[in-house]
Structure 1
Amino acid sequence: MLATYSSLLPVLAALLNLSTTSAQQVYVLTTGTPARPQCAAASKAPATPSYKFSSFAFTQTETYRYATSIPPPATTSTYARPYTALSTLLPSMSTTTWGSWNPNDTAATDTADPYGQAAWSSLWAWANPPNFTTTGIYSTTVSPTPVPSSELVLPPADYFGPTDCYTFPPDFIFGVAGSAAQIEGAVAMEGKGPNNMDVWMRPGLSDNYVTNENYFLYKQDIERLAAMGVRYYSFSIAWSRILPFALPGTPVNQAGIDHYNDLINYTLEKGMIPTVTMLHFDTPLQFFAGNVTSRFKDPMIGFFNGGFQNATFEDAFVHYGKLLLTHYADRVPIWFTFNEPLLFSDNGASVNNVVKAHARVARFYKDVVKGTGKIGLKLHDNFGVPRDPKNPGDVAAANHFNAFHLDTFWNPLVLGKNYPEAFTMTIPDYVPLTAKDLSYMRGTCDFVAVDPYTVTVVSPPPGGIADCATNTTSPYFPYCVVQGENNTFGWNVGYRSYSYVYSTPRYLRTYINYLWNTFHVPVFITEFGFPVFAEAEKAKLADMLFDTPRSTYYLSFMTEILRAIWEDGVHVMGALAWSFADNWEFGDYNARFGMQVVQRETQTKYFKKSFFDLVAFVRDRHPNYERA
């Protein structure tokens, strides 16, 4: 493992005739037990113990420790001019407000207005969301209340814990994340238009439209994060809540603009820093070519059709991105244009529209707005590692897999290089990039942001990669590798939870080394998290709250980040934990990634042990965090 045998890597690489970036994992035969440097004092003890009697007393008295809340800021930094100074950068736009919708709503009479209440309601009638309900607890913003100190007592510590001696750099970013479609609710309220997430409902479930009611509870949610000592809050903005009709030239929803203004301002008021994702899967339905059901068609590349391939998408996204930047860039220092776009890419046109739209928005931010923050996009890749690192075929398959997922976006947007061969040899309708395109795109990502939940064990497909790449009917197309979860000895590569998530901290360190040494810009871990197996089936709240496997996941990942920084020289700029509360995981509520339990009948939240453990780990090792 890199963590233990880093000094042997050059020798092993020479023996295997592989570079350290090609051999993703190295197994080293050892004899005896690992060294235990912390046991030096014990080694001087007598060979046999000395037994004795003493008076008995209970000695397990607990020492209580409280979460340290974030204090209100004395000053607030700005990263661009305010909207009043930037509004002239946009074409003249009208703003309006709309009401709410339900399937029996026939009250609107302004049918002559192409963007009136009747037209807006017709969007929802066309979308026809299944099992629709507007039933929720709240219909207006809830005033926050302080979190009582009784909720902020740290839980009993696990017996085995981190033994590192490192600290985070002063500028290391630590925070938590969520996304609009998974927490906001209020899907057809206050002028929000329909998007593809609003029609992605499981049969018989109607509470997906409610989710965590964060649209009304955002102040209380922020209050709870600040009380725990979280420094960064990462969230997404719903495109269809800002532009219900999606396209340039259509009215802006004033209620949406005001909502996110207030969300950003309250985050800052509570001493936290906001980071914003512009599109987190929830593409407005207008980009599905007038056919709502087309989003379900089998895409060539990703798992879902996100509508990116639509001919109007690029210009529309750029318009939307400019609107967000002019309104909010003064207070938001970090922007993500897209979340995991490959997952929702249908074909070559999809990727073309994403990379070009990102580059245009980033250029607007850097060259026109002259923002002083950072901008990028985040990718979903669960890093490909060779099943047998001594097998050249497995190593080649892992490199192919990673190039398809990562280089396809970051070659042009970071390095100014063309698409990788893994992509161009596979996708028949890819759109070639010109030298002018690449010059324009280069450097439009200030970092490489990934969501590295786990790894994928990779080996070549039957018949080889090249044959698969020319056969769109192959079961391994388009990635053209065999994706597994076992090492060469048949063991799972890490502790398994739910249906697909493994705890693989040492591979995380390998991954961020790969990213840093391949793209030469800072690495940003923008989502990582763990759903404890069968947590939703636990009958007692106390059992849900005591989530030691999740704590182990987070603390081991953070430990490997520290080792990558200090032992490998990797610039890791930060880590955002997914997620700050259990939410709708695109299908149900059973895959619980949250660090808070959500009681859905009342929308009450409870801090889990992992939340305390993770924040305490960072706080105790970060020079800019207050100590308990």
Structure 2
Amino acid sequence: MTRVSVALAACLVIPLLAVQAQYRYVSGNGTASSCNDGYSNATAPTPSYSSFAYTQTQVRQTATRASTFTSTPTYAAHYSSLSSLAPQVSTSTYGNWQSGGSPVGTSTGFEPYGTAAWTSLWQFANPVNFTRGIYSTTVAPTPVATAELVKPDPLYFGPTDCRQFPEGFMWGVAGSAGQLEGAVADEGKGPNALDVSSSEVPSFVDNFSADENYYLYRQDIERLAAMGIKYYSFSISWSRIFPFTEVGSPLNAAGLAHYDDLIDVCLQNGIAPVVTLAHLDTPLPVWKGNNTDRARRGEFGGFTNGGYYRDDFVDSFVQYGKTIMAHFADRVPIWVTFNEPWPVTTNAQAAYNVIRSHAELYHYYHDVLNGTGSVTYKSGGPLGIPLDPTNATHVDASCRYNDFYTGVFANPIYLGQDYPDAYKETVKDYVPLNQSDLEYFKGTADLFAINIYSANLVEPIDPSSGRTAAQCISNKTDPGWPYCTSTTTLTETGWQTGYKSQSASPYSAPRLTRTAFNYLWNTYKTPMILMEFGFPVFGEAEKDLDAQRYDTPRSEFLLSVMSELLAAIWEDGIDLRGAFAWSLLDNWEFGSFAPHFGMQTVNRTTQERAYKRSFFDFVDFFQARVPQQ
């Protein structure tokens, strides 16, 4: 058997790329682990007989519930002291929308933000095949039965590391409003891009009930607490707070009360809430969804339109963000402004608007509210890793890829530097940043937050395609624009990057995740946090419940990534502050319920949940390696 030893190259963005790696091929076989059990030096085993009896050698353990806070942590003054610093808006209530029915609470006279106007938003959205779930009010929690909390037998081949995470390391689970909540037209929520996506993309499955977390959140938090989870990262639905979104439009009282209680229930159960403000669910009045806006899709590399480019986006989003921060700043330790802005950034103006609105909210939180928590945004993955790290052109291609996927936002926000040169050379209508902009943007993220599920192996454009990078850069219709590189799923030696569950899912590549962290840490020099990582098991949706629950490939992925995080901390010197697994439940993965990323199953008819073995393995790993908090 031939082994390959690889040391990956460093990526020096400016001015040149340094290649510091080489492949080293050696011959040989695998070696057995050394053991000191008294038999290692024996020349041969000695057969013998003994009395036989069936014995139970496994100890049955149950999960340990999360300990409650001895005192509720605070990160800013209570809203009663901050109310004068929040946007001054009125509040309103709207009820539930009924598809095909008469407008709810039709107003008399002209009320631009009245109930009839709210109903007209849904009539304009016209969601396809609209349905409701089985719940219409918040469900009271019940204790999780002890039988549900019995741990499975340990994996036969488990982690072998003996390191500890640093004191204060944050770990937990993540989800998002659009993928979990359901109740999309209930209690005053307005329509957003995800609610009408089925009419835009024929292959999308409607997501109107999802996991009904909007009504089951107290029970879902009870289930997290019973497993010992310490952090819950979730998103707030912008359209549930400001259905009309315009500056000065009313605040939906029911939506605000819902998230206020969600945060309180987390804290009551010893779970710290992490809040994301925008998770790909732009409200309809900003996103619009009309023909003019739809035509803008594909303008920037074929990405989905998030409405971020609009002239009114910054003011509308900042009003929403300031409102939420002022109300909940006392109880939330980490604020995330945007989840993965790049895939819904349709043009250069959209990129600028994201940076501008993020920076405004950072300064508002720290300079106006005097918040002591953290503000960040979530960069997306996978990052680009050179296919052949010994080849300077491959390193150059991966750096260009990362400049676009990460650097467009990260350069101004973390470093106070201009957009990457590759971006400005390719996107000719980029919004220039002056010195005042760079000073205002610099350092407006306390953590480098990243979602990583896999990695892309990158190389230059294949010459056999008849295209060149220069041609791609100047041609927006080129299939590789704006990256103008090629990606592959095969390593330099011809092996697939890692285990892959199905066509649309990521590859399991934990070692490349560690490489990505090294690149980001040494480029942006900011404490890091892994905001999302997870994995779907092949064909899980078609399996019976018992088979779904025994999700060994997911366990192996999670444990492998977490072992690599420990190596990154101790061997690479990376300041890594936390990690959150995606997701607490099987959910709507933007068009389908088939890819299962959850650590709990969900019965789509009854909404019953069941823990998977990966949940127990995930929690056990951290509880054994994180100092007691």
Q: TM-score range by the shorter chain?
A: over 0.9
Structure 2 residue aligned with 1:476:
480
Alignment of 1:327-338 (within 5 A): 327-338=327-338
**Does residue 199 of the first structure (1) align with residue 196 of the second (2)?**
yes
**Does residue 510 of the first structure (1) align with residue 515 of the second (2)?**
yes
- Report the CA distance between 1:59 and its aligned residue: 4.2
Of 153, 156, 159, the residue aligned with 2:156 is: 159
- Report the CA distance between 1:459 and its aligned residue: 1.0
- Report the CA distance between 1:57 and its aligned residue: 2.6
Structure 2 residue aligned with 1:560:
564
SS of residue paired to 1:525: strand
For residues 186-226 of structure 1, what are the alpha-carbon distances to aligned partners after superposition, in whole Å with 9 as ceiling and x for unaligned?
Answer: 11110000100000126598762000111100000000000
Structure 2 residue aligned with 1:524:
529
Structure 1 residue aligned with 2:410:
410
- Report the CA distance between 1:292 and its aligned residue: 6.3
Aligned equivalents of 1:428, 1:610: Cα separation in 2? 47
Aligned equivalents of 1:142, 1:96: Cα separation in 2? 24
Q: More deviation in 573-582 or 85-94?
A: 85-94
Aligned equivalents of 1:503, 1:19: Cα separation in 2? 33
* Structure 1 consecutive aligned stretches of length 4 or more whose deviation exceeds 6 Å: 18-21
Seen in structure 2, the aligned counterparts of structure 1 residues 247 and 292 have a Cα distance that, compared at 3 Å, is farther
**Does residue 614 of the first structure (1) align with residue 618 of the second (2)?**
yes
Structure 2 residue aligned with 1:287:
286
Contact 2:193 2:289 in 1 (8 A): no
For residues 422-468 of structure 1, what are the alpha-carbon distances to aligned partners after superposition, in whole Å with 9 as ceiling and x for unaligned?
Answer: 21111122101111000011110111111110000111114443331
Aligned equivalents of 2:335, 2:229: Cα separation in 1? 19
For residues 152-198 of structure 1, what are the alpha-carbon distances to aligned partners after superposition, in whole Å with 9 as ceiling and x for unaligned?
Answer: 01112221111001011111110100000001011111000010000
Aligned equivalents of 1:157, 1:223: Cα separation in 2? 25
Seen in structure 2, the aligned counterparts of structure 1 residues 581 and 293 have a Cα distance that, compared at 3 Å, is farther
SS of residue paired to 2:385: strand
Aligned equivalents of 1:401, 1:551: Cα separation in 2? 30
Seen in structure 2, the aligned counterparts of structure 1 residues 254 and 393 have a Cα distance that, compared at 3 Å, is same
SS of residue paired to 1:516: helix
Aligned equivalents of 1:561, 1:54: Cα separation in 2? 46
Structure 2 residue aligned with 1:488:
492
For residues 484-537 of structure 1, what are the alpha-carbon distances to aligned partners after superposition, in whole Å with 9 as ceiling and x for unaligned?
Answer: 100122211101112231111111111111111111111111000000010001
Structure 2, unpaired ranges of 5+: none
* Amino acid corresponding to residue 241 of structure 1 in structure 2: R
* Amino acid corresponding to residue 570 of structure 1 in structure 2: I
Seen in structure 2, the aligned counterparts of structure 1 residues 379 and 27 have a Cα distance that, compared at 3 Å, is same
**Does residue 497 of the first structure (1) align with residue 497 of the second (2)?**
no
**Does residue 254 of the first structure (1) align with residue 260 of the second (2)?**
no
SS of residue paired to 1:526: strand
Contact 1:288 1:295 in 2 (8 A): no
Seen in structure 2, the aligned counterparts of structure 1 residues 227 and 295 have a Cα distance that, compared at 3 Å, is farther
- Report the CA distance between 1:49 and its aligned residue: 2.2
Alignment of 1:109-120 (within 5 A): 109-111=106-108, 112-120=110-118
Seen in structure 2, the aligned counterparts of structure 1 residues 114 and 517 have a Cα distance that, compared at 3 Å, is same
SS of residue paired to 2:357: helix
Contact 1:295 1:306 in 2 (8 A): no
- Report the CA distance between 1:19 and its aligned residue: 13
Aligned sequence identity (%): 49
- Report the CA distance between 1:618 and its aligned residue: 0.6
- Report the CA distance between 1:483 and its aligned residue: 1.5
Structure 1, unpaired ranges of 5+: none
Alignment of 1:173-322 (within 5 A): 173-201=170-198, 208-289=207-288, 291=290, 294-295=293-294, 297-301=297-301, 303-322=303-322
Structure 1 residue aligned with 2:99:
103
Aligned equivalents of 2:283, 2:556: Cα separation in 1? 38
* Amino acid corresponding to residue 480 of structure 1 in structure 2: C
Aligned equivalents of 1:397, 1:45: Cα separation in 2? 52
Contact 1:386 1:458 in 2 (8 A): yes
* Amino acid corresponding to residue 536 of structure 1 in structure 2: A
SS of residue paired to 2:164: coil
- Report the CA distance between 1:469 and its aligned residue: 1.1
SS of residue paired to 2:512: helix
* Amino acid corresponding to residue 471 of structure 2 in structure 1: D
- Report the CA distance between 1:24 and its aligned residue: 9.4
Seen in structure 2, the aligned counterparts of structure 1 residues 367 and 302 have a Cα distance that, compared at 3 Å, is farther
Aligned equivalents of 1:334, 1:185: Cα separation in 2? 24
Aligned equivalents of 2:41, 2:368: Cα separation in 1? 69
Structure 2 residue aligned with 1:144:
141
SS of residue paired to 1:425: helix
Aligned equivalents of 2:447, 2:27: Cα separation in 1? 41
For residues 101-151 of structure 1, what are the alpha-carbon distances to aligned partners after superposition, in whole Å with 9 as ceiling and x for unaligned?
Answer: 122232433142111110000000011111112x21110000000001110
Structure 2 residue aligned with 1:124:
122
- Scaled by the length of structure 2, the TM-score of the pair is 0.93
Alignment of 1:34-113 (within 5 A): 38-39=34-35, 44-107=40-103, 108-111=105-108, 112-113=110-111
- Report the CA distance between 1:72 and its aligned residue: 2.4
For residues 559-585 of structure 1, what are the alpha-carbon distances to aligned partners after superposition, in whole Å with 9 as ceiling and x for unaligned?
Answer: 000011111111111101000000011
Aligned equivalents of 1:262, 1:21: Cα separation in 2? 51
* Amino acid corresponding to residue 593 of structure 1 in structure 2: F
Aligned equivalents of 1:402, 1:277: Cα separation in 2? 23
Aligned equivalents of 1:353, 1:13: Cα separation in 2? 34
Seen in structure 2, the aligned counterparts of structure 1 residues 382 and 120 have a Cα distance that, compared at 3 Å, is same
Aligned equivalents of 1:315, 1:383: Cα separation in 2? 31
Alignment of 1:307-386 (within 5 A): 307-386=307-386
Aligned equivalents of 2:553, 2:23: Cα separation in 1? 25
* Amino acid corresponding to residue 247 of structure 1 in structure 2: E
Seen in structure 2, the aligned counterparts of structure 1 residues 311 and 211 have a Cα distance that, compared at 3 Å, is same
Contact 1:494 1:503 in 2 (8 A): yes
* Amino acid corresponding to residue 146 of structure 1 in structure 2: P
Contact 1:77 1:331 in 2 (8 A): yes
* Amino acid corresponding to residue 240 of structure 1 in structure 2: S
SS of residue paired to 2:388: coil
